[in-house]
Structure 1
C-alpha cells in the first residue's frame, strides 16, 4: 500500500512539472494570437528588414503612440504593419498593448459628445492626429487626444476593429 502512495506522489510530481514546462514554451509565452493591434511605446523606434539588430534599419519612427498591426511573432521581435502598409520588424520591448488610432482620410473629423452625427460637436481633429482608442459601437469610437475625448466615426480611424 505504501508503494502505491509513493508512486502516486511521483506521478503527480511529474505531471505538475510537465504542465509547468508547457507554460514557458515559446508558443504559450507569446501571450497574443496574431494579428493584433499594438502601438509604438518609445519616442524613437527602428523598423528593421529582419528580426534582429544585425539586420539593416528600414525606417525610423519618431511617433510615440502610433498604432501598428502585429502580424507575426518571432521570439522578442514583431513583424508589424504601419498605417501606410509598410511591413518590417520591431523589438517587442519598444511596443505597447495600449490601443491607439490614427485619424485618416481627407479633411477635418468632427468629434461629438456621443456616438451619433446628431450629437453635439465638441471639436475637430485633422488627419494624422494620434489618440487613445476607447470603445467602438455602431460605427463610432471613443477617441482621446491628450485628455480631450469625444466620439469619432470609426471609418476615419486606422487601428480599430479586428486587425
Structure 2
C-alpha cells in the first residue's frame, strides 16, 4: 500500500512538472499576435503617435511623420505594439498603424550616399545612387548573398545588408 502511494505521488509530480514546464515555455514565446518578438514591420500611416504606454490614455511622446518607415516591434500588449525606430526611440502604437510589408532604411550619417547595384556584387554597375534616410521596399535577402534586393521609386537593385536598417543579421528573405 505504501509503495502504491509513493508511485502515485511520483507520477502526479512528473505530470505536474511537465505541465508547468510546458506552460512556462509557452509563456516565453507567446505574444498576443502569436508572432515572434522582436520583428520588423513598417508604418502604415503618414502620421503615427508614439505613446508612453499601451493605450489612448497614455500621453503622446513623439509623432512620426514618415509612412513606410521600418520599425522594430519589441513588445506587445493586447492590440498595442511597442516599437523602436532606427535612432533607438521607442513607444507604443496601435496595431492598425503598422503593416507587415517589409521596408528598409538606407543607413548612414546625413549626406551619405549608397550605390544601388544591378547585381549582388560589389563591382556591379550602379542603377541609382541613394542617400541615407531613403526608404525602399525589401524584396529579397538571400542566404547566398551579403546583399538585399530593394525597390526605391521604381528602381530595383542590390544594397549590402550593412547599408540598410530593417533586417536582422542572419535573417533571410526569398
* TM-score (norm. length: structure 1): 0.80
Aligned to 2:86: 83
Q: Contact 2:52–2:92 at 8 Å: present in 1 too?
A: yes
1:30 alignment partner, SS class: coil
Q: Which runs of 5+ in 2 are unaligned?
A: 1-29
The 5 A counterparts of 1:12-161 are: 27=30, 30-106=33-109, 107-137=112-142, 138-161=145-168
* 1:139 CA drift (Å): 1.4
Q: Is the 8 A contact 2:71 2:83 kept in 1?
A: yes
Query: Secondary structure of 1:141's match?
Result: strand
1:34/1:52 CA distance change after superposition, 3 Å: same
CA distances 1:34-79 after superposition (whole Å, capped 9, x unpaired) = 1111100001110000000100001101100000000111001001
Q: Secondary structure at the match of 2:141?
A: strand
Q: Do the aligned partners of residues 113 and 89 (structure 1) sit closer, same or farther apart at CA in structure 2, a change above 3 Å counting?
A: same
Q: How many residue pairs get matched?
A: 137
Question: Whole-Å Cα distance in 2 between the matches of residues 132 and 28 of structure 1?
Answer: 26
Q: What is the TM-score of this pair, normalised by structure 2?
A: 0.75
Q: CA deviation at 1:28?
A: 7.1
Deviates more, 1:88-97 or 1:100-109: 100-109
Q: Which runs of 5+ in 1 are unaligned?
A: 1-26
Q: Measured at CA, do residues 71 and 142 of structure 1 come closer, stay the same or move farther in structure 2, by a change above 3 Å?
A: same
User: What's the C-alpha RMSD, in Å, of the aligned pairs?
Assistant: 1.5
- Residue number in structure 2 paired with 1:24: none
User: How much does 1:87 deviate?
Assistant: 1.2
- Matched position secondary structure for 2:86: coil
